[in-house]
Amino acid sequence: MSKKSRRRAPSPSGAAQTTPPDVQAAPPPVVAPQPVLEPVAPPRVLIDVTPEPVSEAVLRDLMRDWRRGRATRHLWDMIQDGYVAVLATVMIGAMLVSMVIRAQGAVSACTSASCQSSRTLLPWAALCGVLALTLMVSRIFGPVVASAAEGFWLMEAPIKRARILWGRLVSVMVAAIVTAAVFGGLIAALSGSSWAGVVNWAVAAGLGAGGLTALAAEEQTADRSWVIRTLQWLVGLVGLTALLTVVAVASGWLADAGWFSSSENRFDLIVSVVGAVLLIGAGTLAIMRLDEIRRARLVSGGSLVAGMQGAMYAMDMSLMRDILVERDAVARGHVRPTKGHGTGLAALVYRDAQRLVRFPKQLILLLLSVVVPYAVGALGLGVLSPVISGLVLLTAIVPLLGMMRVLSRTGGLARSFPFTTAQVRTAMMVVPAIAALLWVVAVTPAFAGLGSGTAHLGWTDASIHAGVTGLAGLLGAVRWVTAKPPDYNKPMMQMGGFGAMPPGMIGNLIKGIDIVALVSLPLLFGWSYWISVIIAGISFFVLRGSMNMTDMQAAQEEQKHQLEAAKAEASTGKKKIPPPRR
């Protein structure tokens, strides 16, 4: 059948279509229904989105649930396992109580006018010291801080920061009040004040510290720091004036402290009232303006606190100071470089002296430490002067050992010098040793006895006692700076209820203090000063790195290479150059 004769089957449109009889017609294709497209809305920009209100209380409860719900140990478990810490706290508390009772008995024997006047002024100096320290800590850390994670998401949420941060500010103020009250009351008790006077000075220190913390928080909301810095210097100068007045009265230069030491002038009450007014007024204003704190300021203090917590976890006080020094350098920004002089070890000594001239702020603690032996002697506690003055001198000399700290923590930099560790450390101790010698000359009259409340010594014995105290402070500072951090690569040690700890972690708490105690305690017990001199000589031999294991291993390795080179030369007749010393 031809194509023309084919008959077409009718189409759906009515047209005729033909199909072969032997072929079945195919079903029509099934067309899927097309979905109805809705009009697409334009993209939404986050800036144009209206923020939805968030309940800060619910958010705070959620954060607390996350922190507590994912904690592996609770506070009660820590208290049960930390029985050693509880026992140590009880023992330290008993020692403090015993020290206060002994100080009360020793000071009660001091009945002269000069000694009584000095006892009245010493709580003033302690109060100013506590307030200055409160201002410094508040200026460095915050006092209101936030972690980096909170600054990333919490501070960008549509919430009011005041409702999240006010609890932190209140807790910081309460902590400042309690801590300052404890220290102020303890110093007043050690100075021989009555128990009513101890309570008054404790209240004054607590309220004053709380008020200054509230003022620092209010200044933080305005992003200012010059007010707190100025107050810190003023309070420090007042405390230094009080200490110098104590020395002048004990030396007989002033017959009496006059108006400042009169019992009718209640300066502690004035400080308490001013502190309470600042605590209420500045605290309320700071809480109302917490929304104005810049996020960068909050996160900066939070990162510093996190770093300090990490250093405290390792019980490394030196690392904590390194963090603060780095923070101060960042705040300074840049300095003008200066050219050094000399060659060899003399260049290191000159660089230390040059750094001291460029940053004379490091000498402030050293100048303040000169007053301590005079103040201790004025209170009739001259027997304890070697120990107390040695510990204060340790704190004052540590800032002068910056180069030693850097070379102790970076071994690669120290090995780049063509000198041994002992030579480098000895050169870096020259400038601090000169400063300690000047300190010894300045405090020798204090050990000789000034005023009727001190134990009089001959000038020769006084010079020896002052020299031993200076050695104790210097060597203690070197030990504090050069102590090795905990080694986490070595096997852990079981430490009672505290669990496993790396070697050297507990020793970080007493580094420096152990050297001061070993050198100065023979004088405290009335033994021969030669014992202290011998202990100081042994400590100097060890601390200068005369028995440094790294240097000894490097020397042994170099000798081994030289021996191998000599054997190779003898066998082959060709000279073999040994590898350079690493």
* Residues 394 and 538 grouped into a single domain: yes
Predicted confidence at residue 14, as pLDDT, reads: 45
Residue 511 lies in a domain: yes
* Residue 493, φ and ψ in degrees, nearest 5: -115, 140
pLDDT at 351 over 60: yes
Q: Using an 8 Å Cβ cutoff, are 131 and 235 in contact?
A: yes
What is the rounded average pLDDT for all residues in the chain?
Answer: 75
Residue 415 falls within a domain, yes or no?
Answer: yes
The answer on 289 and 164 residing in a single domain is yes
Q: Cα dihedral sign for 374, 439, 233, 286?
A: negative
Look up residue 362 and give its DSSP letter: G
What digits encode the pLDDT tens for the residues 403-440? 888 888 777 777 788 888 888 888 888 899 999 999 99
Report how far residue 1's alpha carbon sits from residue 23's, in angstroms, rounded to the nearest whole number. 14
What count of other Cβ atoms lies within 10 Å of the Cβ of residue 403? Answer: 19
Q: Is residue 169 part of a domain?
A: yes
8 Å CB contact between 247 and 374 = yes
Q: What pTM was estimated for this model as a whole? A: 0.70
For 141, the token pair is 């850390």
Shared domain check, 369 and 258: no
Which of 1 and 229 is assigned the larger pLDDT? 229
Domain of residue 453, residue span: 334-487+504-547
Q: Pick the more confident residue, 335 or 46.
A: 335
Amino acid at 27: P
Q: Using only C-alpha atoms, what is the Rg of the chain?
A: 36
Tokens of 368: 């303040």
Q: What pLDDT is stored for residue 452 in this prediction?
A: 45
Contacts of 99 (CB under 8 A, 6+ apart): 190
Give the per-residue pLDDT at 166. Answer: 83
pLDDT of residue 438: 92
Say whether both 231 and 294 belong to one domain: yes
Q: Which residue has the higher pLDDT, 214 or 254?
A: 214
> Has residue 274 been placed in a domain?
yes
Range of lowest pLDDT (121-125, 208-212, 339-343): 121-125
Give dist(CA 80, CA 67) in Å, integer: 21
Q: Provide the domain count of the chain.
A: 3
Q: Which of 185-194, 297-306, 383-392 has the highest mean pLDDT?
A: 383-392
In the chain, what percentage of residues exceed pLDDT 70?
66
Residue 235 lies in a domain: yes
pLDDT above 60: residue 170: yes
Query: Which of the two residues, 468 and 12, has the higher pLDDT score?
Result: 468
561 falls within a domain: yes
Can you give the pLDDT at residue 9?
46
pLDDT of residue 322: 79
Q: What is the mean pLDDT of residues 16-42?
A: 55
- Report pLDDT for 226: 86
Top-ranked range on mean pLDDT: pick from 232-236, 406-410, 570-574: 232-236
Which neighbouring-strand residues pair with 500? 494
User: Both 408 and 526 in a single domain?
Assistant: yes
Give buried/exposed letters for 22-33 (b at 16+ CB in 10 A, else e). Answer: eeeeeeeeeeee
* 185 and 304 co-located in one domain: yes
pLDDT at 114 over 50: yes
Encoded tokens for 310: 């990490």
Phi then psi for residue 501, to 5 deg, are -135, 150
d(CA 463, CA 467): 6
